[in-house]
Structure 1
Amino acid sequence: MIDVDRVDSLVDVLAARRKSGTQIVLVSSGAIAAGLGPLGLSTRPRDLATQQAAASVGQGVLVACYTSSFARYGLRVGQVLLTADDMMRRSHHANAQRTLARLLELDIVPVVNENDTVATDEIRFGDNDRLAALVAHLIRADALVLLSDVDALYDGDPRRSGARRLADVRGPEDLVGVELGKGGAVGTGGMVTKVQAAKIATGAGVPVVLTAAARAAEALAGADVGTFFHPGGRHPGTRLLWLAHATTGRGRLHLDPGAVEAVVDRRKSLLPAGVTAVEGDFAAGDPVDLCGPLGRVVARGLVNFDAGEIPELLGRSTRELAATLGPEYERELIHRDDIVILEPHH
């Protein structure tokens, strides 16, 4: 059931900012929950097919609610449904970028949600906080505001006396000793996912404010409310950000130490000679995890071959493969432009 009063309160704030000249993109959750009532369900279904059915009904209910609420201010909304699977494909993420940009040019307020009707457990963003961070990067937002049910990030449970508000977070060192996940649980997210989303956005150069919905107007006005996460200096390519945070590996390639050093430290392409084993059932173009000798995932990339083709390539040079299998095999397993490093190699 949608709380129309809460929606209207949020839209009041967003409409005021929009009327002052600020472009707004709203990332909203709630499609599955909005579909429960019309389907006569009292609780969130556990099976994927019924969740997708609820989302199908609920997406219409949700966007109708936003359409009605923004219409009070003469503003129109446009629904944008994204899937993680789409976003790792070169052409698809570019299409999403163009669509959002054009909606803003046309003075439409985009309402973004994960397309739960087709997402599966293996290919989904997982939570709308992460989706919001990725969309903020996609549109090169000036700021991301994450709304919670508590007014800021605290160094402990905010319900306990003595818990201190963290006004600024400049890096991981500011979060040492902070208790996450106690208080601030919202939907399928919670404070853990909000901090993770803030890390994604700030790593992409987008500043983040985390606060309560009731303080959204103050946050958008730049007041000292909530927690401000300062942006980092890196600006990774959009597609690599999606690859790192909006995908899961469909399989694994195990690398020898030399290949790990080449890929991670020297940012080289992955060649068949450096791969010792392959796991999973994947197709060319799918994301796969790259593992070091101890099995730790160190990178992810878009592979150029089907899983079934790779075993006979292992340990062989591209020159040898071209001579025995044909010129189409004289190429890397994964090109360096399609590899994102997931953790530092030591």
Structure 2
Amino acid sequence: MKQQKTEQGEQEVRDAVRQARTVVVKVGSSSLTKPSGHLDVERLNSLVEVLAKAKQRGTSVVLVSSGAIAAGFGPLGFDSRPQDVSTQQAAASVGQGLLMQHYETSFARFGVRVGQILLTADDTMHASRYRNAQRTLQRLVNLGVVPIVNENDALATNEIRFGDNDRLSTLVANLVRADALVLLTDVDGLYTAPPSQPDARHIDFVPDVDQALAEVSVGGSTSGVGSGGMVTKLEAARVAVSSGIPVVLTSATHAGDTLEGNQTGTAFAPAAHRDSSRRLWIGFAANPRGSLVADQGAVEAVLGGKASLLSAGVVEVHGEFSAGDPVWIDDESGNHIAKGLSGFDSEEIPRTLGRDTSQLKRLLGEEYAHPLVHRDDLVLL
């Protein structure tokens, strides 16, 4: 999904963060740990104090916190983050309990209760699990609890995982219909190049994140304890602003200033329009089970934004899926142009291909005379 044109300026974005009724705050491992890899309780307590003050001002807070693996590998006797999956999972199992223990103790100083939510990518890819996660998170927020969300690193594998909590934070922001997303890291915002380079310039405001992704030179994680980097943060910002959510990227030490609307870090302007939860799930969380290959006429109609994908314009079907499952819509060169929910089981589709609505009614019956993907269930990429 590409960002739609926005008319918000920098101050409006920062005001939106300050006035947010619900804000999602993501903090990375490097912002919560010492260079040795052990959890830095002083840093954690400082962040909790900032978030507790935001709650006292009437803002509902959802915290997406990394740090389980980093908190665990020190107590297990490792000098640095383990590289193999099974040891990372073991470290996460030990570290997640330590992390939550410190969060519970720290938030309790301000009379704030917390709840733990561990998610895997699989939980967001399936519509029913996505709705379950959404209901739980919204109920916790309504009860005045601060949900603390992390990827379930103890069970997630490299095959199906978020890979970093930047992407997870944008999905959580959509799950709770957040009014703002704050990405906390170990640098004070976005630069035109890695900050270590002498010609790097700080960027205060990004009106178009798609353009920034094309023009800014960024790198991966250098902390040794995190799994993300500026690339993943820019991608997270792109997803959030495309969902209509304003974003500020800044260092954890400036979290308080950010939530108070002060000029710090980099602000990203949101798209003017925010889609429904259903369409946001299709666009950003759903995992396609197959693909429908459209001819040039159908591609142009779909890209126009108002047309359903009809059998008459589809030339091939790939994969095995059921009606209601997400699928890619591809052009004949193999490029993904959209995602959508299939109106048919995959085995039903071949006999419908190339036929218009009247032919479908006459040859296969009334029940086949509807789009392969209805425009209301279709999201452009």
- Provide the TM-score with structure 2 as the length reference: 0.78
Q: Which residue of 2 is the match for residue 198 of structure 1?
A: 237
Residues 183, 95 of structure 1: alpha-carbon distance in 2 compared, 3 angstrom cutoff:
closer
Question: 2-side partners of 1:226 and 1:26: how far apart?
Answer: 19
Question: 1-side partners of 2:57 and 2:362: how far apart?
Answer: 65
Residues 212, 43 of structure 1: alpha-carbon distance in 2 compared, 3 angstrom cutoff:
closer
Q: Which residue of 2 is the match for residue 276 of structure 1?
A: 315
Q: Which residue of 2 is the match for residue 7 of structure 1?
A: 44
Question: 2-side partners of 1:237 and 1:213: how far apart?
Answer: 31
Matching residue's letter, 2:68: A
- Worse-matched range after superposition: 146-155 or 22-31: 22-31
SS of residue in 1 equivalent to 2:279? helix
Question: 2-side partners of 1:57 and 1:324: how far apart?
Answer: 61
- Worse-matched range after superposition: 116-125 or 106-115: 116-125
Matching residue's letter, 2:216: V
SS of residue in 1 equivalent to 2:255? helix
Query: Structure 1 residue 148: deviation in Å?
Result: 1.2
Q: Deviations over 1:167-188 (max 9, x none)?
A: 1111144566321116776722
Matching residue's letter, 1:304: G
Alpha carbons 2:126, 2:287 under 8 Å: kept: no
Identity of aligned residues (%): 55
- Worse-matched range after superposition: 56-65 or 154-163: 56-65
**Pairing 1:1-346 to 2, within 5 Å after superposition:** 1-36=38-73, 43-47=81-85, 55-116=92-153, 119=156, 121=158, 123-171=160-208, 172-173=210-211, 177-181=215-219, 187-342=226-381
Question: Which one scores higher on RCO, CA 8 angstroms, separation ≥ 6?
Answer: 2
Query: Structure 1 residue 64: deviation in Å?
Result: 2.7
Q: Deviations over 1:27-66 (max 9, x none)?
A: 112334445567777743544x665565455444432332
Alpha carbons 2:140, 2:146 under 8 Å: kept: yes
SS of residue in 1 equivalent to 2:47? helix
Residues 114, 332 of structure 1: alpha-carbon distance in 2 compared, 3 angstrom cutoff:
farther
Question: 2-side partners of 1:266 and 1:168: how far apart?
Answer: 29
Query: Structure 1 residue 301: deviation in Å?
Result: 1.1
- Worse-matched range after superposition: 196-205 or 130-139: 130-139
Question: 2-side partners of 1:184 and 1:40: how far apart?
Answer: 22
- Worse-matched range after superposition: 134-143 or 118-127: 118-127
Matching residue's letter, 1:254: V
Question: 2-side partners of 1:205 and 1:178: how far apart?
Answer: 22
Q: Deviations over 1:106-162 (max 9, x none)?
A: 211111223445555565434311221232233232321101111111112212334
Alpha carbons 1:263, 1:270 under 8 Å: kept: yes
Query: Structure 1 residue 320: deviation in Å?
Result: 3.9
Question: 2-side partners of 1:51 and 1:184: how far apart?
Answer: 18
Query: Structure 1 residue 330: deviation in Å?
Result: 3.3
Question: 2-side partners of 1:307 and 1:122: how far apart?
Answer: 24
Matching residue's letter, 1:181: G
Question: 1-side partners of 2:362 and 2:77: how far apart?
Answer: 64
Matching residue's letter, 2:346: A
Matching residue's letter, 2:279: L
Alpha carbons 1:157, 1:183 under 8 Å: kept: no
Alpha carbons 1:167, 1:227 under 8 Å: kept: yes
Question: 1-side partners of 2:84 and 2:309: how far apart?
Answer: 40
SS of residue in 1 equivalent to 2:61? coil
Residues 282, 55 of structure 1: alpha-carbon distance in 2 compared, 3 angstrom cutoff:
farther
Alpha carbons 1:208, 1:230 under 8 Å: kept: yes
Q: Deviations over 1:66-123 (max 9, x none)?
A: 2222122221101223344443555544443332232122211111223445555565
Residues 79, 207 of structure 1: alpha-carbon distance in 2 compared, 3 angstrom cutoff:
same
Aligned Cα RMSD in Å?
Answer: 2.9
Alpha carbons 1:123, 1:248 under 8 Å: kept: no
Q: Deviations over 1:196-253 (max 9, x none)?
A: 1112222222211111111111222222111111222121222222222223432221
SS of residue in 1 equivalent to 2:334? coil
Matching residue's letter, 2:189: A
- Provide the TM-score with structure 1 as the length reference: 0.85
Matching residue's letter, 2:311: P
Question: 1-side partners of 2:324 and 2:92: how far apart?
Answer: 28
Unaligned runs of 5+ in 2: 1-37
Question: 2-side partners of 1:130 and 1:62: how far apart?
Answer: 20
Alpha carbons 1:124, 1:247 under 8 Å: kept: no
Query: Structure 1 residue 337: deviation in Å?
Result: 1.6
Unaligned runs of 5+ in 1: none
Q: Deviations over 1:238-277 (max 9, x none)?
A: 2222222223432221111122122221432222222111
